[in-house]
Amino acid sequence: MNKITSLADLKRIKEQVHSKIRMRENSDNADTLVQIKVGMATCGIASGAKETMTYFIEETEHQAIDAVVTQTGCMGYCYAEPTVEVTLPGQEPVVFGFVNKAKAREIIDRYIIKGEMIDGMIPVTYKTIDE
Amino acid sequence: MKTISDHILDILQNSVRAGATLIEIMVNEDKTSDIYAVEVKDNGCGMTEEEVQKAVQPFFTTRTTRKVGLGLPLLKQNAEASGGNLVIRSVPGEGTVVRAEFGLKHIDRPAMGDIAGVFVLTAIGHPSVGFGYTHTTGTGSFRICTEELNEMLEGMPLRTPEIRKAVTELIRNNLQSVDASA
């Protein structure tokens, strides 16, 4: 494949992708999406939140989970960074601490896919900064 | 923070939290004066003169969830360790400019790191905010912005796997072609 160096190259890729992907209906509908928010403040970044976020994006794609991965600020659990807030459709948000790749894998395989409770949940007594 | 791109990722969050709708990252490598300048400019809520003074103190934060704010102090520390400095200019209601200068060839200047990844992750993380990134070296200049990208993508989200990878690659290739320092 040729090197991608300009917007024209990007457009070419976009056309390819466009003809290939199934455009999901309601793909941005919050009722059907799993929302994953990664704490991306100083404390999170220093603990590897960037790698955690990349992993969540790649792994949810890989497993074809309808998820939207975004960033949020510090929730005050600096000791437990990287922290991740997961909201399953129609459920209350759940916050997990110390989310490295192994933990992220467990969250996807057990909490997101099977809905099981797993170790490492932080009781949610805060409001996210967006609220 | 291990790399300059980590710092940028961090400072960008400040801008987002300040309610900015347009955030510009500018990196300028000047071999003649041996300066590696990183500037983040936003149109957020801005700070008063007093807040600007306090912003680099580790025990000042606008947050209520915790009592420390280390993002800017750590950036200042790293900039100064490489013979540079940190300057913040801000006008309440108009926006803020954070400018960190590092010694380009200084042994204690952190590497740039994965700036392409930082740009793409932040743009995905905050779809409603516009981001621009300009990198200038002695060889040339490279610029990318989400406005241009979104126009070209015609509604296809940046987080689409192929697109995300292609944009990351586009940034990396262009940085290479302007001889951007590591």
Q: Which residues of A touch B171 (CB under 8 A)?
A: none
- Across residues B168-174, what is the average pLDDT? 94
Confidence of residue B68 (pLDDT cuts 50, 70, 90): confident
pLDDT tens digit sequence for A79-115: 999 999 999 998 888 999 999 999 999 999 999 999 8
pLDDT tens digit sequence for A41-56: 999 999 999 999 999 9
pLDDT tens digit sequence for A14-28: 888 876 655 554 455
Confidence of residue B67 (pLDDT cuts 50, 70, 90): confident
* Residue of A33, A42, A95 to mutate when probing chain B, most B C-beta within 10 A: A42
Share of chain B above pLDDT 90, in %: 77
Share of chain B above pLDDT 70, in %: 100
B4-177 — its CATH code? 3.30.565.10
Q: Which residues of B touch A11 (CB under 8 A)?
A: 152
pLDDT tens digit sequence for B75-107: 999 999 999 999 999 999 999 999 999 999 999
Cβ A5 vs Cβ B173: under 8 Å:
yes
Structural domains present in chain A? 29-122 (3.40.30.10)
B163: region left, alpha or beta (phi > 0 left; psi from -120 to 50 alpha): alpha
Tell me, what's the pLDDT at A125?
59
pTM, full prediction: 0.88
| Closest partner CB to A18 (pick from B69, B71, B156) | B156
pLDDT of A12 over the 70 cut? yes
- Residue at token pair 């292609």: B166
Tell me, what's the pLDDT at A25?
45
pLDDT tens digit sequence for B112-149: 999 999 999 999 999 999 999 999 999 999 999 999 99
Confidence of residue A1 (pLDDT cuts 50, 70, 90): low
How far does the CA of residue A124 sit from the closest CA of chain B (Å)?
Answer: 13
Q: Tokens for B127, please give them.
A: 């779809």
Under 8 Å CB-to-CB from B119, ≥6 apart: which residues?
Answer: B25, B131, B133, B144, B171
Q: Which residues of A touch B174 (CB under 8 A)?
A: 5
The reply to whether residue B124 touches residue A9, judged by beta carbons under 8 angstroms, is: no
Task: Please report, to the nearest 10 degrees, the dihedral formed by the alpha carbons of residues B62, B65, B67, B72 taken in order.
Answer: -50
Measure Cα distances from B52 to B34, B46, B127 in Å.
Answer: 27, 9, 28
Tell me, what's the pLDDT at A26?
44
- Across residues B4-25, what is the average pLDDT? 94
Closest chain B residue to A36, measured at CA? B125
- b/e burial code for range B130-157 (CB count within 10 A of at least 16 → b): bbbbebbbeeeebebbbeebbeebeebe
Alpha helices in B18-145 (DSSP H): 49-55, 71-81, 115-125
Cβ A121 vs Cβ A63: under 8 Å:
no
pLDDT of A126 over the 60 cut? no
Tell me, what's the pLDDT at A96?
94
* Domain residue extents for chain B: 4-177
* Residue of A45, A68, A126 to mutate when probing chain B, most B C-beta within 10 A: A45
pLDDT of A8 over the 50 cut? yes
ipTM confidence score: 0.83
